């Protein structure tokens, strides 16, 4: 498997993502992100933070975070103190001795005591008291079983609607507008075209989109909801993710989309 840091760096550069954008999205300081890419583990707060930062960064880049964390553990984590504890051969024998029952002589003494008590009981029963006296009648109380209370059925909690996993995007031009749309795989699904007034793109679906719009004369609809486009008088870029409002892109990132 390639190096962990190299995988992170090449994925970010291939998608033309600036480090400041990663810092804003993941809430991880840029110096820690660079330490992950350079595999400078000593610059990070500790192994727990390394695995947490690595998992967050990998998920942002849409990589297999579990695979990268397991690779870090295999390469860099040391075995625990419990794994290094020396084996004591006498310990198992001591535990076996504790589990053993009483020894043979002790069992003989116990059996002899039981036999002696039984003989004394028979002698006392045969020669003691009046043999014609009928045995006393012992009244046996009959317990009435009380049926267990049946628990009342509880109402099922209402299922919450799960957040969408993909973005369904459609753009409609109010006037002529330059449109560039790049999906989560880095493919230009709308490769820098001038969308004529009244025309719309097809409905596009992906786990993420990045847009480069020439102006604000466009209707942006994501998952059935319309969002306003900032009228800055200049081209504007957005990033769309499931369940989130569109996020403005830095001009350096926006300008790098749909280059021919």
Domain ranges of the chain: 4-76, 167-255
Task: Supply the CATH classification number for the domain 4-76.
Answer: 1.10.260.40
Rounded mean pLDDT, 163-182: 87
Q: What are phi and psi of 166, to 5 degrees?
A: -130, 160
Question: Residue 141 and residue 143: Cα distance in Å, rounded?
Answer: 6
- Span 110-153, pLDDT tens digits: 777 877 887 677 665 554 444 444 444 444 444 444 555 555 65
Q: Which residues contact 239 (CB under 8 A, 6 or more apart)?
A: 208, 209, 210, 211, 246, 247, 249
Residue 155: pLDDT band with limits 50, 70, 90? low
Q: What is the pLDDT of residues 74-116, one digit of tens each?
A: 988 876 544 445 444 455 555 555 555 555 666 767 777 877 8
Give CA separation, 11 vs 16, 22, 124, 142, 166, in Å: 9, 12, 95, 79, 21
Q: pLDDT: is 23 or 97 the higher one?
A: 23
Secondary structure of residue 124 in the 3-state scheme: helix
**What pLDDT, on a 0 to 100 scale, did the predictor assign at position 189?**
87
Per-residue pLDDT tens digits for 210-220:
988 889 999 98
β-partners of residue 226 are 221
Does residue 33 register a pLDDT over 90? yes
Q: How far apart are the first and last CA of the chain?
A: 33
pTM of the prediction? 0.40
C-alpha distances (whole Å) from 162 to each of 42, 159, 204 are 39, 9, 21
Q: Residue 175: what pLDDT? A: 87
Over residues 155-169, the mean pLDDT reads: 68
């Amino acid at each position: 498997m390639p190096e962990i840091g190299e995988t992170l760096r090449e994925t970010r550069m291939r998608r033309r993502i600036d480090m400041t954008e990663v810092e804003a999205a993941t809430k991880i300081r840029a110096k820690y992100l660079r330490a992950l890419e350079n595999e400078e583990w000593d610059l990070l707060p500790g192994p727990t933070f390394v695995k947490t930062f690595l998992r967050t960064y990998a998920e942002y880049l849409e990589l297999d975070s579990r695979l990268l964390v397991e690779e870090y553990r295999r390469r860099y984590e040391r075995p625990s103190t419990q794994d290094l504890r020396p084996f004591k051969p006498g310990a198992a024998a001591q535990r076996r001795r504790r589990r053993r029952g009483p020894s043979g002589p002790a069992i003989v003494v116990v059996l002899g005591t039981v036999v002696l008590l039984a003989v004394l009981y028979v002698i006392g029963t045969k020669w003691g008291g009046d043999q014609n006296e009928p045995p006393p009648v012992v009244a046996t109380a009959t317990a009435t079983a009380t049926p267990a209370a049946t628990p009342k059925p509880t109402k099922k909690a209402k299922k919450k609607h799960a957040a969408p996993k993909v973005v369904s995007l459609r753009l409609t031009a109010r006037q002529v507008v330059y449109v560039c749309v790049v999906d989560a795989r880095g493919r230009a699904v709308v490769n820098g075209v001038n969308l004529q007034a009244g025309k719309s793109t097809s409905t596009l679906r992906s786990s993420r989109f990045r847009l480069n719009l020439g102006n604000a004369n466009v209707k942006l609809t994501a998952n059935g909801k319309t969002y306003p486009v900032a009228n800055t008088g200049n081209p504007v870029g957005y990033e769309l993710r499931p369940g989130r409002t569109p996020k403005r892109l830095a001009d350096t990132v926006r300008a790098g989309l749909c280059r021919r």
